[in-house]
A and B are shown apart, each in its own frame.
Chain A
């Protein structure tokens, strides 16, 4: 599935429309959803899309460190200006959907986008 397909399914708009042609055809391999940074950091697998309701700059940091392919903000939220600036710098596409988290996840799952893996993180000893 490509980022443009994700946008269509989620009725999402890019946060910055100017450079949308660059990322439209990037491949999305899986999806993760969380509002907690440390949960995001326990995810593995580059090429994952991140769904979140968290809009501060640290979400972008997490996405950068984990090589997420893009971030979609749910329930109509817009990222903070510093977050947008950092995302631009790190070439991480941002989207916003009016849908709630549950429906966003449901639609992507129904479209056969698999959950991202956590297999690198083994259960606690």
Chain B
């Protein structure tokens, strides 16, 4: 009996290590492309194949990054940008969810606003910037507006889609039980739309973050986007790259963080992993 138990434990630990090997393999697969890119970057810059005024070496970018970080400059610019993103995103998410809900629930509202949505949505961010400057000037409000527009559409469309794709079969259950309209809305439509709304929020904050550089092209004197523009004007390529990479990394962190949150809050919508 004792022996058997021992054997089982051994097998379990084998299975575990197999699981560990699989995990290691998956990890290797996800990091292989970036590692390769950095390696090539390292080679072409250190052998003089590419001019360092166009592409500084990775070690130069890293040391610039450290000096920016230790001087506190990076932190200040990042937090200023981040607050701008949050302000624009909060507005975009709120309006996106409210208008999206109205359009999802009411065919009339959907018809009235639908045309406007299809006209306005394809307008690229860069085309909005001059208009927003005309309307709002070059202060904070036009920067917030750029980020607002950047995050609004994906929240809006995903909210509409989430509500409209509520399972007819579940709606029939509520109809058979003679439920009130408020129960339909708050207990059936909205919960079933939540995963889609959350996806909209995730896409929204990601695109808000990518819009920040555009927004900080408008007469900014601070922020990560400003830092990048300014560094380019001063011909400091290492600083440009450090800033660009920072934006990418923070974007990944925001997205992954929200994904984890989504899986935790809406665990019912996901198949349990072994």
Q: Do A and B bind each other?
A: no
